Structure formats: structure tokens, C-alpha cells
Amino acid sequence: MDTRVVAASADAVRAAGELLARGELVAFPTETVYGLGGDARNGRAVAAIFAAKGRPSFNPLIVHVAEPGAAEDFAVFDARARALVERFWPGPLTLVLPRRENGGLSDLVSAGLPTVAVRLPAHPVARAVIAASGCPVAAPSANPSGRVSPTRAEHVRDGLDGRVAMIVDGGACAVGVESTVLDLTGATSRVLRPGGVTAEEISALLGEPVPLTEVADGPLLSPGLLASHYAPDRPVRLNAAAAADGEALLGFGAAAGAARNLSPAGDLAEAAANLFAMLRELDVPPYRGIAVSPIPEHGLGVAINDRLRRAAAPR
Ligand code: TXA
Ligand code: MG
């Protein structure tokens, strides 16, 4: 298959929508990372997503919509979900909700679970592509399974050339880490994956603590929960004061001698936006490893450290 990379435009959006409606795969920008989209109602399109990523098929996908009402067709919203949607959509918050029977989704999209993850992205190109397709769009990050997520169109092509019909180029992603995955299927809500909306913000809105729960095993096992994930080729060493011999230092704040700096000013939003692109830029010769400065563990730092720990995990 030839992969077309097309700058975002009204024509590109229309072409992307037509491809999706025909069951083809299209990569498009969201505010978090680029997504690899397919029609969530079409089992063959969903299977093609798993195949293109080389992803273990027990991992459920997020279903993306362009309008909140579209999610009501296949997911059951309670009062908490409505309040969260009101405050954080469009934006980097994914809600795991009970799945409506006969909602039209492929079973494969949520890996046979009675729940479904749904998100309304803030990026105008993502929303336009989804609206043009007329489908709910299943979209994991547009990278081979286990590798660094793409925040630019060329990252998508590096990993998936020949495996996706079209890549819509909308420039660099502003948030840079994936959406927060919040499980609302139980009495207490819990974060399954830290991301672009912080647990502090969710907790403030719901008026209750929102624990981060890592599901160790079983059918809920998610790519974000596999120990080694978001992994560059080179080994990653965390909380480094300086680079050792052969290492590149990925700095934060006033780090001296950094090959790249996530945010010289120590701004966590800027660091999140730079994280995946800078990991890629340092994953090249002559470096033999990547050392990373300490990142504060609050706000977006929780999501950044989560991704860095997985990038550094034994493989
Ligand atoms: O920012 C994002 O969320 C990006 C962009 C493209 O929207 N998408 C993304 O998708 O990161 P993916 O497939 O790489 O991650 C989906 C996450 C995984 O951790 C998965 O296990 C979890 O959502 N998930 C999906 N459906 C679930 C469900 N029914 N129950 C629990 N977790 C679920
Ligand atoms: Mg991913």
C-alpha cells in the first residue's frame, strides 16, 4: 500500500473521511498524539488497526467522536460522566463507560469487554476528519506497538509507512502525551492511565479522590500498563544528574550539558509537548543511551514520569 502524506486542508479532510467510511485506515493529528483511525463499527477496519500496529489484540481501543451526542449511541453516561464531559470535552480525557448493547460498535474495538473508552479530541483536524467520516473512529496512537508515540506526521510515516492509506499532516501535537484514561464503570472513579488532564483537576471537579490504579493483569491489561512501552531503541536512565559516557542528556529546567531540554523554564506542559519528539531525536548515533533529568511528580509530570518509567523499563 502507498501511504499518502497530505497537509491538512478541506480537501484532505474530505478524502480522509471517505477513506475511513470505506474501511481504510487514516492517521490524523489530535492535541495529544497522532491517532491511527479506523471505523469503530467495522470489525475488519478494527482488525487492520491491530495488524498495522502489531498490537496484542487483547488491548481495547479508544473510540473517538466529533460531538458528545454521538457517544450516547454506544456508551452509557451517568451524572459524573456528564459533568466531566461538560468541563473537559473536547480535550485529552478518555472516559471508560458501560457499553450500550446494540450500539453498533465492533466487539473487537473493546476487546470483548462490556465497557468502552470514548474521547472527543480538541484538535480541529481530528474533529473534522471524524465528522467527515460519519463514523465513530477507533484510534490508538499511530506507532508500532511498544514504541514511542508520534507527535508529528513524519513520526507516523517512520513507523507505519505502507501500513496506512493516508496521513493527514496537522503539524506538531500541542499536549504531547496521551489522554488521561478514567474508569467510571465502578462506584469510585479511577485513573487507568495518567495523561493530558491531571488527576488533581478531575478530583477537584468530582469532589472526591481519584486514585491511579494500575491493573496488573487480566483482560483490562492496557498498552499503557505493559512494563516496557514507549520505548526508544537506546536504553533510558531516569533521574540523572548528568550524562554518563556515551549518553545524551535529556534535560529539564536548569540542566547543564543537555543535548535537548524538555523545558529550560521548567514548564511541565512544554515538557510534555516535547517529550516524544526529543526521545526520538536522541535515539540516534553516536549516543548509546539516553539519560533524563528528574521531572517533578505533580500535574502533567505524573503522565511524563509514567511514560519515562515505561521507556526505561527492562525489555
Ligand atoms: O491521546 C490518546 O488517547 C490517543 C489519541 C490518538 O487519541 N489514543 C491512545 O490510544 O492513546 P491507545 O489505544 O494507545 O490507548 C488506549 C488506552 C489503553 O491504555 C487502553 O487499555 C485503554 O485506553 N482502554 C481502552 N478501552 C478500555 C476499556 N474498555 N477499559 C479499560 N481501558 C481501556
Ligand atoms: Mg499508544
Q: State pLDDT tens for residues 241-261.
A: 999 999 999 999 999 999 999
Q: Whose CA is nearest to atom 15 of ligand 1?
A: 140
For the chain, the distance separating the N- and C-terminal CA atoms, rounded to the nearest angstrom, is: 31
CA of 244 to the centre of ligand 1 (A): 35
Q: Helix (H, G, I), strand (E, B), or coil: what is residue 27? A: strand
Q: Whose CA is nearest to atom 29 of ligand 1?
A: 116
Cis check for the bond before 286: say yes or no (omega within 30 of 0).
Answer: yes
To which H or E segment does residue 47 belong?
Answer: helix 43-53
What does the buried/exposed string (b/e) look like for 116-154 if buried means 16 or more CB atoms within 10 Å of the residue's CB? Answer: bbbbbbbbebbbbbbbbbebbbbbbbbbebbbbbbbbbe
Beta carbon of 94 within 6 Å of any ligand 1 atom: yes
Supply the pTM of this predicted model.
Answer: 0.92
Hey, where are the domains in the chain? Answer: 4-176, 236-312
Q: Please, which residues bridge with residue 161 across strands?
A: none
Amino acid at 173: C
Backbone angles phi, psi at 297, to 5 degrees: -95, 60
Per-residue pLDDT tens listing for the chain (315 residues) = 899 999 999 999 999 999 999 999 999 999 999 999 999 999 999 989 999 998 766 689 999 999 999 999 999 999 999 999 999 999 999 999 999 989 999 998 998 889 999 999 999 999 999 999 999 999 999 999 989 999 999 999 999 999 999 999 999 999 999 999 999 999 999 999 999 999 999 999 999 999 988 654 333 445 445 566 788 999 999 999 999 999 999 999 999 999 999 999 999 999 999 999 999 999 999 999 999 999 999 999 999 999 999 899 887
DSSP category for residue 257: T
Nearest to 167 by CA among 151, 178, 156: 156
Beta carbon of 60 within 6 Å of any ligand 1 atom: yes
CA of 257 to the centre of ligand 2 (A): 31
DSSP category for residue 110: G
C-alpha cell at 309: 518509567
To which H or E segment does residue 84 belong?
Answer: helix 79-88
Strands 236-237 and 260-261: what pairing? Answer: unpaired
Q: Whose CA is nearest to atom 21 of ligand 1?
A: 222
C-alpha cell at 38: 479506523
Beta carbon of 145 within 6 Å of any ligand 1 atom: no
Backbone angles phi, psi at 108, to 5 degrees: -65, -25
Ligand minimally distant from the alpha carbon of residue 144: 2
C-alpha cell at 276: 516524544
CATH architecture of the domain with range 4-176: Alpha-Beta Complex (3.90)
Ligand minimally distant from the alpha carbon of residue 35: 1
Nearest to 168 by CA among 179, 154, 158: 154
Beta carbon of 136 within 6 Å of any ligand 1 atom: no
d(CA 239, CA 295): 8
